[in-house]
């Protein structure tokens, strides 16, 4: 029985030394990395830049082409028809150019709206997984405190075992409690690793 408790004590030391955890991840940093690494966001940002250039180019070509014929006609009726035709063609191009500008601006606004929506969807998904991650950390911390309290009780009882002030059955019960807390800790660690893998997938790189 004493040999069993010695082996168990050694295992406790090994387990206790592995309880230290890394610092909690920062949500704002994760969101920033996700936006930088997301291929869909990169593609939309490139499209927006292209649309912005298209708007500038279209606006630069906005001057209406209104021409009045300069030829001299002896027939006043023919001259009037020619001038009217030139003027009409210029006005038609002017209104057509206005439509092109409007369409270019609408395409730009649509691309911006798509980008905002994509960023919002990504932020919501990451935030949801991050909440699960934080919850696993809290549960893990609770199980660690339970383990530490149970370990302190076990060590006290172990000292009393040699004096006969405590029965082996109580020691076995305390040992079982420690084992249960160890199992709970490992379960929460697994949950934390699962959420971190999901976060890594969403971020698209190292956390």
- The domain ranges of the chain are 38-203
pTM of this prediction exceeds 0.85: no
- Tens digit of each residue's pLDDT (9 = 90 or more) over 53-111: 989 888 776 555 444 444 444 445 444 444 444 444 455 555 576 788 889 899 999 99
Burial bucket for residue 45 (CB in 10 Å: 0-12, 13-18, 19+): middle
Structure tokens at 145: 């405190």
Residue 31 has pLDDT above 90, yes or no: yes
Burial 158-184 (b: 16+ CB within 10 A, else e): beebeeeebeeeebeebbebbeebbeb
Please report which confidence band the pLDDT of residue 10 belongs to, taking 50, 70 and 90 as the band edges: very low
Answer yes or no: is pLDDT of 136 > 90. Answer: yes
Of all residues in the chain, what percent carry a pLDDT higher than 70? 72
For residue 63, the model assigns a pLDDT of 52
């Amino acid at each position: 029985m004493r040999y069993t408790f010695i082996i168990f004590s050694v295992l406790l030391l090994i387990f206790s030394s592995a309880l230290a955890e890394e610092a909690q991840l920062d949500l704002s940093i994760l969101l920033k990395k996700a936006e930088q690494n997301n291929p869909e966001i990169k593609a939309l940002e490139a499209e927006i830049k292209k649309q912005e250039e298209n708007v500038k180019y279209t606006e630069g070509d906005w001057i209406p082409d209104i021409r009045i014929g300069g030829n001299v006609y002896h027939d006043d009726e023919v001259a009037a028809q020619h001038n009217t035709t030139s003027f009409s063609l210029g006005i038609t191009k002017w209104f057509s150019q206005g439509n092109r500008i409007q369409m270019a601006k609408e395409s730009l606004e649509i691309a911006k709206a798509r980008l905002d929506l994509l960023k919002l969807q990504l932020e919501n998904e990451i935030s949801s997984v991050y909440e699960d991650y934080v919850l696993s950390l809290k549960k893990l911390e609770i199980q660690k405190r339970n383990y530490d309290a149970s370990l302190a009780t076990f060590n006290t009882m172990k000292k009393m075992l040699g004096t006969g002030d405590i029965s082996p059955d109580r020691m076995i019960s305390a040992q079982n409690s420690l084992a249960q807390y160890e199992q709970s800790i490992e379960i929460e660690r697994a949950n934390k690793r699962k959420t971190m893998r999901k976060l890594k997938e969403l971020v698209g790189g190292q956390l």
